[in-house]
Structure 1
Amino acid sequence: MRYLVLSDIHGGSAELEQALTYFDQYQCDYIVLLGDLLNHGPRNRVPDSYQPPKVAEMLNAYSTKIISVRGNCDSEVDSMMFNFPCNAPYGYIIVSQPDEVAAASAAANAAAQGVPQRTKTQRIFLTHGHLHKIDSPDGSGMNELRDKLGLHENDIVLSGHTHVAGIFLKPSGLVNINPGSTTIPKGGTKAGFALILEDHIELRDLDNNLVARYDFVFE
């Protein structure tokens, strides 16, 4: 499975239109939305391409292929614009190890030991990022998230909210990956998106330049 990851669209229709071109270009199966879809937010500038109804229309065209969580700027009336569920605070994606050699080896070992075969996986936790202070410098927010939700070392927390794209390794052992905002980037980063591919995640700007890459740790 391949996933196109978008966050903090904030009603920017032109930026979303450009981002959605990568769904087919990268042969994605699903779109992950990390919240803040329509409303520009009172602390942000109004995007030049601010057209919430058009954004809703474009996303609804992919309604059967969307996994979405709710952001702090997403209201109940916003959710009524969509033909897909978007009010959940959290979500999960489980990626299985694609290496056929490793899979064959695991199957042989399992058979030799007389135990059920276990496929190695990478867990990816989805949330907008406002419910716990994921970006807190001391890592306390990620510790709270880990303890509350049973996360463990090398789990990935995929979040938005800060509009700052990057890969952040936390003292808790968790990995925070933020695709940034498609529309209102902050912290010196560019507008962009992420791709969840077979064995890694890529961060790219809207012009499709590679920004960063994180290789999965299958366990």
Structure 2
Amino acid sequence: MKLMFAADIHGSLTATQRLLAAFDASGATWLVLLGDLLYHGPRNPLPDEYQPAEVASQLNHYADRIIAVRGNCDSEVDQMLLEFPITAPWQQILLEKTRIFVTHGHLFSPASRPPLCHDDVLVYGHTHVPHAERVDDMVCFNPGSVALPKGGFPASYGVLEDKILRVVSMEASETIAQVAISH
């Protein structure tokens, strides 16, 4: 199963359209959204082509292929526009021998770990900075941000394919970082 991960859209229509085009081309089964979908948040600048209602409309076309979690900028009002659930603080995706714990990153992160087992995978957003590495006994993965990247990184998303998690640049479709999951 191929998965695509994206975080921190923050209401950018441009980023949403580019993400959905990449998803269509990827052949991924699921688009996993890591929160902060519609609102830009008070600490962030307005993203390129800020149109949260249109972002919701575009994402709703993929509602049956989206797994999502709530970010710190998401609200119950946002849920009213979306046709897929976003209010859970975390989700789990179970592979044959691996559990992927999906969260936004403001509640659970590498610094504040949920109770996970050896070789589980923690996938999170929130920082807008890509991260892909084994930390102690688990894999930590952040696809960066599709709309408001930080740390000098380009806009990016993540892909899980053939037991490899990759952070992919939206601009050049190049791998920025990668890490293997154990099983």
- SS of equivalent to 2:177: strand
For 2:51, the equivalent position in structure 1 comes to 51
CA distance in 1, matches of 2:166, 2:139: 14
For 1:100, the equivalent position in structure 2 comes to none
For 2:106, the equivalent position in structure 1 comes to 130
How many residue pairs are counted as aligned between the two chains?
A: 182
CA distance in 1, matches of 2:138, 2:181: 12
CA distance in 2, matches of 1:123, 1:159: 14
Which among 131, 155, 158 is matched to residue 166 of structure 1? 131
For 1:179, the equivalent position in structure 2 comes to 143
Extract unaligned runs of 5+ from structure 2.
Answer: none
- SS of equivalent to 1:73: coil
Shift of 1:168: 3.7
- SS of equivalent to 1:55: helix
Q: Which amino acid aligns with 1:125?
A: F
Is 1:82 matched with 2:97? Answer: no
For 1:34, the equivalent position in structure 2 comes to 34
- SS of equivalent to 2:179: strand
The Cα RMSD (Å) is: 1.3
- SS of equivalent to 1:160: coil
- SS of equivalent to 2:99: strand
Alignment deviations for residues 91-135 of structure 1 (CA, whole Å, 9 cap, x no partner) = 111223xxxxxxxxxxxxxxxxxxxxxxxx121110001113x25
CA distance in 1, matches of 2:140, 2:16: 23
TM-score after normalising by structure 1:
0.79
For 1:112, the equivalent position in structure 2 comes to none
Shift of 1:21: 1.1
TM-score after normalising by structure 2:
0.94
CA distance in 2, matches of 1:214, 1:168: 5
Q: Which amino acid aligns with 1:17?
A: Q
Q: Percent identity of the aligned residues?
A: 41
Q: Do the aligned partners of 1:12 and 1:50 also contact (CA within 8 Å) in 2? A: yes
CA distance in 2, matches of 1:131, 1:213: 24
Q: Which amino acid aligns with 2:121?
A: I
- SS of equivalent to 1:25: helix
Shift of 1:184: 0.5
Which has the larger strand fraction? 2
CA distance in 2, matches of 1:168, 1:197: 16
For 1:15, the equivalent position in structure 2 comes to 15
Which has the larger helix fraction? 1
For 1:73, the equivalent position in structure 2 comes to 73
CA distance in 2, matches of 1:189, 1:48: 16
Higher CA-based Rg? 1
- SS of equivalent to 2:157: strand
Alignment deviations for residues 142-180 of structure 1 (CA, whole Å, 9 cap, x no partner) = 2xx22xxxx112211000000011114334x22210001
For 2:64, the equivalent position in structure 1 comes to 64
